[in-house]
């Protein structure tokens, strides 16, 4: 298990260009962390092909509620330890920004992604997550099971300050019921989105 979790963490922090990961394939969404490129990189690394990328149609309401509660209770957020930009003091939200974020997060509760957002992808309901992981559990090798057994959940970005800061959910569920969830503020620097501060995160494993 420790070796498997270490592999997941290494994959999560690895940084590659679009050309390296997906042969210049363009994804249809501009997201802070692209689930399709993450999915392709996982199996390209091992030299085989996963046939289906799974993503959920919506976000679990309790996740949105947790983010709402955090933003209701605080307007100051500590800079993330991975951030390497120029900001050194905490991210401070104005009352207007706080109200806007709360309004947009409420809208997330009714938002549903379209089908076929990505090549070779399948949109699933929250109730179908385990069934999807059961399908990939039937793959012949442990490498294929580890790399292909993943379900993505992600939010629409909520932009602030002339689109220089955004709030975005990145969640992954793996085989063995391991969950990695990060609801973070991101900032656009060095021609890419970087984690700025955390609103809500959650990690679960057996």
Domain limits, the chain:
2-204
Q: Which residue has the higher pLDDT, 105 or 146?
A: 105
Which tokens is 16 given? 């590659």
Q: Cα 175 from chain centroid?
A: 16
Model pLDDT for residues 43-68, shown as the tens digit of each residue: 887 788 899 999 999 999 999 999 99
Output the pTM of the full model: 0.84
Q: Distance between CA atoms of 32 and 22, rounded to whole angstroms?
A: 17
Model pLDDT for residues 102-145, shown as the tens digit of each residue: 999 999 999 999 999 999 999 999 999 999 999 999 999 998 99
């Amino acid at each position: 298990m420790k070796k498997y979790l270490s592999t997941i963490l290494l994959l999560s922090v690895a940084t590659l260009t679009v050309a390296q990961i997906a042969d210049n394939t363009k994804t249809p969404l501009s997201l802070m962390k692209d689930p399709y490129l993450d999915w392709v990189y996982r199996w390209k690394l091992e030299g085989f092909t996963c046939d289906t990328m799974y993503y959920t149609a919506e976000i679990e309401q309790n996740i949105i509620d947790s983010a709402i509660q955090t933003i209701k209770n605080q307007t100051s957020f500590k800079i993330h330890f991975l951030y390497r930009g120029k900001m050194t003091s905490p991210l401070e939200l104005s009352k207007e920004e706080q109200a806007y974020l709360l309004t947009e997060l409420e809208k997330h509760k009714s938002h549903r992604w379209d089908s076929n957002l990505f090549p070779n992808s399948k949109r699933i309901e929250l109730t179908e997550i385990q069934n999807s992981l059961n399908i990939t559990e039937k793959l012949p090798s442990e490498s294929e099971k580890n790399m292909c057994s993943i379900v993505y959940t992600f939010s629409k970005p909520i932009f602030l300050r002339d689109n220089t800061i955004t709030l975005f959910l990145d969640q992954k569920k793996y085989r063995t019921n391991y969950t990695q969830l990060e609801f973070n503020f991101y900032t656009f620097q060095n021609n890419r989105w970087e984690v700025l501060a955390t609103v809500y995160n959650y990690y679960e494993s057996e």
